[in-house]
């Protein structure tokens, strides 16, 4: 098991204790955690639904956040912080406090349908739980239904007035029916999207035992009486702290109070073979297809966990194969939080992970030119190399097969350096606007970076490996480095600068 995973399982213990504790320390921890999320413009329920945080399109806490809380947040993501799904152990009030985008209820919709404007328009108005979107119709067979348009509008207006009292002074202006980007218009659209999704997809495919549990609610709990048909439908505004059912939170599939490091590790080991979704990468149909597919990814993990891979390369590759790399986002609505994938700055295609690492013409050019580096590193031709999605994602397994065993790892080193160079140049372009009119992925200097990265790793290996072994595996035929008076040096023929 990878040491990082082990550390996560261990940290999980401390986190689970804090989350399940009602002591002063536990409360302070929880409050500070929520405050940090808020300061970074996040929202706790995004953590539970694994939703993108915001800029950069990552589910992780932004890099600008305090490292201590970032680590905690990341560990919670890794250990899949969630709510229990033992519906029968929920009271009526509790079950209605579940987030409307709870993955165990909404399935794939959480990923595909909520990205654009549902969360970003409804969370800021504290519309985030089932009790906020459903209405209770005592005379209907299905008593709990999604609010209709009029009921939805009423609730949004009421929330806005409570949250922003200044709105009440000029209702006509703030609640103008135009289709612009006002908070009000966006919330109406967001709720409309959610309603369509709820009626067409979520409800028809929601787990039967969950629906059964909801159908057992015959009268509304006192605190949620506003959900009754005909009332204004707006529940009191409460602090996020009180919205969260702390004693229902689970880590690694265990209620926090039952969490144990052993369980965390078992969870991690299982999670570790979860296969990323690359439609482009499929093993052939036939017997044992599933097992073969799993083996394919297991081999990829072995590649990820290569002994000499620097942490920075590891992270870059991991993000890449899990499609968690930073991507261009839609920023055409200033002030509005729209974090869906945008268009590639350089060529205008959708900036998907396969585009940004493989298919974009600018990146394609890098891979093509970089094969010359590989030739020199191997000291042999690379004519049979395929720059296909599968080969690039899996670090060229086919091509490695054509090489003598002892030099195959050089391909992994080269691949690692190229992925890292692309990642770091893309990330710095996303962080800082480049070019005259905004952003461009600026890949200038990629070649130097690849060479420098390869050299640094080689230097490290040379420090610890047996001399003879190093020569066969890394030195013979390699025109980048040579040994001069027992030291590894960059060959004169290639300047590092």
Q: Which residues bind Zn ion (CB under 5 A)?
A: 344, 346-347, 360
Q: How far is it, in rounded angstroms, from Cα 11 to Cα 217?
A: 38
Give, in order, the Cα–Cα distances in Å from 101 to each of 47, 108, 142: 11, 10, 20
Residue 439 Cβ vs Zn ion, minimum distance, rounded to whole Å = 12
Closer CB to Zn ion, 213 or 440, in the complex? 440
SS3 annotation, 3-14: HHHHHHHHHHHH
Q: CB-wise, 262 or 364, nearer to Zn ion?
A: 364
Shortest Å distance, C-beta 399 to Zn ion: 24
Residues 229 and 136: beta-carbon distance below 8 Å: yes
CB of 326 to Zn ion, least distance (A): 14
**What is d(CA 153, CA 9) in angstroms, rounded to the nearest whole number?**
45
156/359 with CB nearer Zn ion: 359
Residue with smaller CB distance to Zn ion, 111 or 350: 350
Residue 259's nearest CA partner among 268, 272, 250 is: 250
- Is the CB of 260 or the CB of 347 nearer to Zn ion? 347
SS3 146: strand
- Taking the complex as a whole, the smallest distance from the CB of residue 319 to Zn ion amounts, in Å, to 18
**In which residue are the tokens 């990205």 written?**
115
3-state SS, 196-237, equals HHHHHHHHHHCCHHHHHHHHCCCCCCHHHHHHECCCCCCCCC
The distance of closest approach from Cβ of residue 60 to Zn ion in the complex, given in angstroms and rounded to an integer, is: 24
Q: How many CB atoms lie within 10 A of CB 377?
A: 24
For the CB of residue 62, give the shortest distance to Zn ion in the complex, in Å. Answer: 24
Question: 346 or 382: whose CB is closer to Zn ion?
Answer: 346
- Shortest reach from residue 429's CB to Zn ion, in Å: 12
Torsion angle in degrees (nearest 10) through CA of 299, 304, 306, 311: -170
* Residue (172 or 437) nearer to Zn ion, CB: 437
């Amino acid at each position: 098991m990878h040491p990082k995973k082990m550390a996560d399982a261990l940290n999980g213990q401390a986190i689970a204790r804090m989350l399940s504790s009602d002591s002063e320390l536990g409360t302070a921890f929880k409050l500070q955690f929520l405050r940090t999320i808020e300061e970074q413009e996040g929202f706790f329920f995004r953590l539970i639904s694994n939703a993108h945080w915001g800029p950069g399109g990552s589910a992780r806490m932004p890099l600008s956040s305090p490292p201590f809380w970032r680590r905690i947040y990341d560990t919670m993501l890794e250990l899949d912080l969630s709510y229990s799904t033992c519906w029968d152990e929920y009271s009526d009030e509790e079950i209605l406090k579940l987030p409307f985008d709870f993955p165990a209820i909404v399935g794939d919709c959480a990923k595909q349908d909520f990205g654009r404007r549902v969360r970003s328009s409804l969370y800021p108005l504290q519309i985030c739980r089932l009790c906020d979107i459903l209405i209770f119709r005592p005379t209907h067979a299905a008593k709990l239904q999604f609010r209709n348009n009029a009921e939805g509008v009423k609730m949004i207006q009421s929330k806005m007035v409570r949250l922003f009292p200044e709105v009440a002074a000029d209702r006509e202006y703030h609640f103008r029916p135009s289709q612009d980007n006002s908070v009000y218009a966006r919330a109406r659209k967001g709720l409309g999207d959610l309603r369509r999704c709820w009626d067409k997809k979520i409800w028809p495919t929601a787990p039967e035992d969950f629906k059964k549990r909801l159908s057992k609610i015959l009268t509304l709990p006192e605190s949620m009486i506003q959900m009754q048909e005909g009332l204004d439908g707006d529940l009191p505004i409460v602090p996020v702290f009180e919205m969260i059912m702390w004693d229902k939170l689970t880590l690694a599939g265990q209620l926090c109070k039952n969490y144990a490091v052993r369980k965390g590790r078992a969870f991690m080991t299982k999670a570790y073979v979860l296969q990323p979704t690359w439609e482009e990468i499929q093993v052939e149909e036939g017997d044992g297809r599933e097992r073969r597919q799993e083996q394919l990814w297991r081999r990829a993990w072995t590649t990820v966990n290569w002994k000499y891979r620097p942490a920075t390369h590891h992270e870059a590759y991991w993000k890449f194969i899990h499609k968690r790399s930073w991507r261009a986002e839609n920023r055409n609505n200033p002030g509005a939080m729209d974090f869906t994938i945008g268009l590639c700055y350089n060529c205008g295609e959708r900036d998907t992970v396969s585009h940004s690492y493989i298919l974009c013409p600018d990146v394609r050019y890098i891979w093509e030119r970089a094969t010359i580096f590989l030739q020199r590193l191997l000291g042999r031709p690379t004519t049979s190399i395929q720059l296909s999605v599968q080969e690039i994602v899996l670090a060229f397994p086919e091509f490695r097969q054509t090489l003598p065993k002892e030099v195959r790892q050089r391909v992994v080193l080269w691949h690692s350096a190229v992925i890292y160079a692309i990642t770091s140049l893309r990330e710095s372009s996303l962080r800082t606007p480049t070019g005259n009119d905004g952003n461009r992925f600026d890949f200038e200097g990629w070649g130097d970076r690849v060479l420098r990265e390869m050299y640094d790793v080689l230097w490290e290996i040379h420090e610890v490996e047996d001399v003879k072994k190093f020569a066969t595996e890394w030195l013979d035929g390699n025109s980048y480095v040579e040994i001069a008076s027992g030291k590894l040096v960059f060959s004169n023929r290639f300047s590092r600068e």
